[in-house]
Each structure stands twice: as structure tokens, then as C-alpha cells.
Amino acid sequence: MRSKFILMLSLLMGIVTTLLFYQYMKQLNAEKADTTRTVEVVVAKDKIEKNERITTEKLEMMKMPEKLVLPQSLKSFNDADGKIATSVIEKGEPVLTHRLVSEKEERVYVSRKVREGFRAASVGVNINQSVSNLIEPEDEVDVVYTKENKDKSNQSPPNSIILIQKARVLAVGRKMGTPENSKEPYVEYTSVTLELKPDDAVTIINASEQGKIQLILYQRPKMDEDNKPN
């Protein structure tokens, strides 16, 4: 009787062991399948600069483990073709949706171009004050203030000073795209929108009420990934 009980117990333990081993192998195979399953995502074939218009020649498809693919990763060239990069995308780096913007969005929303801690403020300009309307978005300018002499009997020469140095240009008129990324025809403008610290914005607004504002142009800067001039 005792030997029969031991035999039954051994058979039961054997069945349990077999079931546990089967479950372990099934889980192991599932995990292995997860690590080997890949999907194709869009990556940069060459380095893409900030504010550069993306073309399919700059892109290629790359297989990546499905577990490592971010939800924002693009799966088709069509999703990136013609878009503008909002930051530098290095060679071989996946192209993500939140790092692209359409030309329409770039033209419409000046607020998305303003960096944290800054404000957008516009100043009125004519042809001479705007370097013959040759200032473009993403240029840098100095703001020069000349106080008006309202006393006609005072023959002292006007006094000009530099109020702000290296202010970033966000827009000229309603144009916010850079020349290389914009298909808009040339239109004469009468205002320039600058990115300024709040105190500098107040200074320029007060100065424009008391005298004349003129802009002088720097050599065009290269922008880094944080939207700052190098």
C-alpha cells in the first residue's frame, strides 16, 4: 500500500514538473520573439540642421527592435518630406514627430519660436531703418535709438546710442520663415519682431515713443539645437 502511494506521488510530481517546464519554455520563447521582432523606422541618412527643410534624400529606413521604438517614430518618408526640423537630427538618429514642423505652422505661430524667458516685441521700421528691408527671420540686429530734438531752437546734433545688442529677429512683417525655407515672394515690410528679455522689450517700446529706432545687421549666425546662435 505504501509503495503504491509513493508511486502515485512520484507520477503526480512528474506531471507538475513537466507542466512547469512547459510554461517556462513557452515564456522564454515569447520573450525571445519579443527581442527579435523588428520594425522599420525613418532615420536621418545625413545630419539634418536646425531649420532645414527635410527631403527624402536625407532619409533612410532602418530596422530596430520593436521594444526600442518610440511612439513618435516615423514609419514613412511621406511623414517627414517637406517638413522643417526644429532641432538638429544627427546621422542615424530616428526622426520623431515632435521635432518636425510644417511650413504652415512655422509661418503662422510666432509664439512657438520664442524661447523660455523671452518675449516677442515688434518695432516699426521704414526702408532705411530696416537695412533696406534686407533683414530676414533668424538674423541678429543691434537696436539703435536716436532721441528726437523737439526744441527747434536747440541746434545740438542728435545723439544715437545702442539700446540692445544681438537681438534675434523672429519675423519681418508677417514672414517668419527663413529665405532658404520659404517660398513666399518678397514683400516690403514696415515692422520687425524681435525676441527680447521683458525689460529690454519695455526699454525699446519706451524709446520708440520718444525718438527713432534703427536696426543694424550682424553676420548671419548659425543656430544650435536649443535655438540659440552659435
Cα–Cα distance for residue pair 107/95, rounded to 1 Å: 22
Q: Where does the pLDDT of residue 224 fall: very low under 50, low under 70, confident under 90, or very high at 90 and above?
A: low
Residue 192 pLDDT: 94
Residue 61 lies in a domain: yes
Asked whether residue 58 falls in the same domain as residue 148, the answer is no
What average pLDDT score do residues 100-129 get?
80
Asked whether residue 87 falls in the same domain as residue 136, the answer is no
Asked whether residue 96 falls in the same domain as residue 117, the answer is no
Q: Where does the pLDDT of residue 65 fall: very low under 50, low under 70, confident under 90, or very high at 90 and above?
A: confident
Is 45 or 28 the better-scoring residue by pLDDT? 45
Residue 153 pLDDT: 65
Residue 227 lies in a domain: no
Is 110 or 172 the better-scoring residue by pLDDT? 172
Asked whether residue 120 falls in the same domain as residue 59, the answer is no
Query: Given a cut of 80, is residue 185 above it in pLDDT?
Result: no
Asked whether residue 121 falls in the same domain as residue 213, the answer is yes
Residue 150 pLDDT: 66
Mean pLDDT of the chain: 81
Asked whether residue 128 falls in the same domain as residue 180, the answer is yes
Residue 4 lies in a domain: no
Q: Which of 167, 138, 160, 171 is nearest to 207 (CA)?
A: 160
Asked whether residue 71 falls in the same domain as residue 125, the answer is no
Query: Given a cut of 80, is residue 23 above it in pLDDT?
Result: no
Beta strand 191-196 with 119-124 is antiparallel
Asked whether residue 173 falls in the same domain as residue 209, the answer is yes
Residue 106 lies in a domain: no
Q: Which of 43, 41, 64, 69 is nearest to 54 (CA)?
A: 43
Residue 153 lies in a domain: yes
Residue at which a domain ends, from 101, 127, 143: 101
Is 26 or 227 the better-scoring residue by pLDDT? 26
State the total domains in the chain: 2
pLDDT digits (tens, 9 = 90+) for 79-93: 888 888 878 899 989
What average pLDDT score do residues 146-169 get?
80
C-alpha cell at 116: 523660455
Asked whether residue 118 falls in the same domain as residue 197, the answer is yes
Residue 32 lies in a domain: no
The parent domain of residue 53 ranges over 38-101
Cα–Cα distance for residue pair 49/51, rounded to 1 Å: 6
Residue 20 lies in a domain: no
Asked whether residue 96 falls in the same domain as residue 120, the answer is no
Angle at 165 between CA 53 and CA 118, to 5 degrees: 60
Q: Where does the pLDDT of residue 7 fall: very low under 50, low under 70, confident under 90, or very high at 90 and above?
A: low
Residue at which a domain ends, from 80, 101, 122: 101
Asked whether residue 180 falls in the same domain as residue 208, the answer is yes
H or E element, residue 12:
helix 2-36
Q: What's CA 137's distance to the chain center, in Å? A: 15
Residue 105 pLDDT: 59
Q: Is the pTM of this model over 0.75?
A: no
Q: Where does the pLDDT of residue 165 fall: very low under 50, low under 70, confident under 90, or very high at 90 and above?
A: very high
What values do phi and psi take at 223, rounded to 5? -95, 140
Query: Given a cut of 70, is residue 175 above it in pLDDT?
Result: yes
Asked whether residue 94 falls in the same domain as residue 119, the answer is no
Residue 33 lies in a domain: no
pLDDT digits (tens, 9 = 90+) for 189-200: 899 999 999 999
> With pLDDT > 90 as the criterion, what percentage of the chain qualifies?
27
Residue at which a domain ends, from 56, 76, 101: 101
Q: Work out the number of other CB atoms within 10 angstroms of the CB of residue 137.
A: 23
